[in-house]
Chains A and B, each alone.
Chain A
Amino acid sequence: MKALVAIKRVVDYNIQVRVKADGSDVDIDGVKMGVNPFDENAIEEAIRLKEKGIVTEIVAVTIGTATHQDVLRHALAMGVDRATLVETQDSLAPLAVAKVLKSIVEREQPSLILLGKQAIDDDAGQTGQMLAALLKLPQATFASEITIADQQATVVREVDGGTQTLSVPLPAVITADLRLNDPRYVKLPNLMMARKKPIETIALDSLNLSLTHSVKQLSVAAPPERPAGIMVKDVNELLSKLRTHQGIIA
């Protein structure tokens, strides 16, 4: 079966981004970028399913400028077979991304569609569910375990207070939680080899989608800083400080 993995290029998770002086946007000029961590879990899962002989081909897709090929190269180096870049200068909201991915799914006809559960830049966590809705497919979000047999996926999902298990007929959309797996480390020779693998580029315009931009970012700001705290010398001092806060501790 074919698996399609959608990935997003985001600011590296170690970096604390800053706001531009005019408050118009986040300043990410020259900042280190990489594959969204949850999407890396999705890629890893597809590769493991291929190694188990369940998946036969993996296609990775991203949306963005030519620069975004780097995350596709990373996916190819991890073990993805083919990659597609849907090229656009615009940054798209989750609904638009889902519409683009829908048209790629319709071309590729994968049995399994994997995405990360959220992107660490906008923290929206919507694209997988929206894609499933547009495709009228079942969804299993926040997966921490995926088992596939007889065209069914059994998915353990992380929910508040515990886990839930779903049985999901394929094709389906599944979104990955961090605990799904540990993405493999990409070795340099694999990265070199990945340079030879094909990346197909499709112009967003050629997909003839009507994408509305209904959400506008008006401004961004740094959150209010917590007032500087104090260091206490021992447990007794800590306790006496806490006791000055009415009712916090007896």
Chain B
Amino acid sequence: MRTLIIAEHDGQHLNEQVARAVTAAQQWQQPVDVLIAAAHTDALAAQAAALQGVSSVLVATDASLQHATAEHLADLVVTVAANYRVILAAHSAFSKNVLPRVAALLDVNMLSDVLEIVNQNTYVRGIYAGNVLATVQSTDATQVLTVRGSKFAAAANGNAAGTQTLSVPAAAEGSRWVAEAFNKSERPPLAAAKVVVSGGRALGSADAFAEVLAPLADKLHAAIGASRAAVDAGYAPNDLQVGQTGVVVAPELYIAVGISGAIQHAYGMKDSKVVVAINQDPEAQIFKIADYGLVADLFEAVPQLTAAL
């Protein structure tokens, strides 16, 4: 049997999480195939074929896959599912949308956001906002799962896997893509950044994110993150939210500025190597999970820190 990875991409580039999924897939010690579904697949297939550990790239090319819906992608995956013992993707908005649909069509359960693959059907995953680690075992014939990318190293390049062409089922009548709006930023993507500077409600305004937080992030070549309270108040766009319901980050350095450290926020940052918290309340929860805590007014401490760098 084989393992299939559903590749996420933006039409031109494979998402860097795909290489991490390839590493996770090695656990089953069976051939690993990567599925590329897009309107133009040449460049994407080449990127997937170059990943070490990939045995074959399945290429589904069709105009209908330009902005493929979950319905369409799930139908496509089901056409090849019988060849696979494992169907896997890195955990993201994309895979969360598609893989549960695939699992239900195959009449199997799914494991979301797996942190550790213990053996071929046993996994560790976080429940209750990561406050508890559960070891779970699935007896399903096809194992469908998403893995937390940051827990697996990215597979290296240098391979030259072969490709196979798939026929694409007709797109089901159903939902239709209308538009998308991505927040353009020169900063590294949150999920992959080496340094993250996150601001909370205490920043008090979008201007403060720009005037207080951004210069620090610039100096550290950091991504900017935010708590939900800051996002809800409109200080930062919602795709910057770190936490249980936002992005999970795993940088070398996470600097939490004016963030209380609620369990839902902590969920998204606990894998950071070094955590710094700046908060004026010595009792703030965030200090319990910080490696270095500084009790200070952020409007003084952050500019000082920026200047000293």
Query: Residues of A with Cβ closer than 8 Å to B?
Result: 11, 13, 16-17, 19, 26, 93-95, 98, 117-118, 120-134, 137-142, 144, 154, 158-169, 172, 177-179, 214-223, 226-227, 229-232, 234-236, 238-239, 241-242, 245, 247-250
A40 shortest CB reach to chain B, Å? 13
- Say whether B170 faces chain A, with CB atoms less than 8 Å apart: no
B68 shortest CB reach to chain A, Å? 11
Query: Residues of B with Cβ closer than 8 Å to A?
Result: 69-71, 74, 92-94, 96-105, 107-113, 122, 125-140, 172-183, 189, 191, 195, 220, 228, 231-232, 237-239, 244-245, 247, 252-253, 263-264, 270, 273-276, 287, 289-296, 301, 304-305, 308-309
A249 shortest CB reach to chain B, Å? 7
The contact sample of 5 A-B pairs, CB cut-off 8 A, is: A138-B174, A141-B96, A164-B177, A166-B175, A220-B127
Decide if A17 touches B128 in the complex (CB within 8 Å): yes
CA separation between A239 and B74, bound complex, in Å?
Answer: 50
Given that A164-B177, A229-B293 are known contacts, is A223 also in contact with B69, CB under 8 Å in the complex?
no
Contact of A166 (CB < 8 Å), options: B107, B111, B177: B177
Contact of B132 (CB < 8 Å), options: A118, A137, A161, A222: A222
Which residue of chain B has the shortest Cβ distance to A162 in the bound complex? Answer: B182
Which residue of chain B has the shortest Cβ distance to A124 in the bound complex? Answer: B112
Decide if A123 touches B305 in the complex (CB within 8 Å): no
Which residues on B sit within 8 Å (CB–CB) of A95?
Answer: 103-104, 107-110
CA separation between A234 and B122, bound complex, in Å?
Answer: 46
Which residues on A sit within 8 Å (CB–CB) of B102?
Answer: 133
Decide if A160 touches B94 in the complex (CB within 8 Å): yes
Decide if B135 touches A235 in the complex (CB within 8 Å): no
Which residues on B sit within 8 Å (CB–CB) of A177?
Answer: 245
Decide if B175 touches A169 in the complex (CB within 8 Å): yes
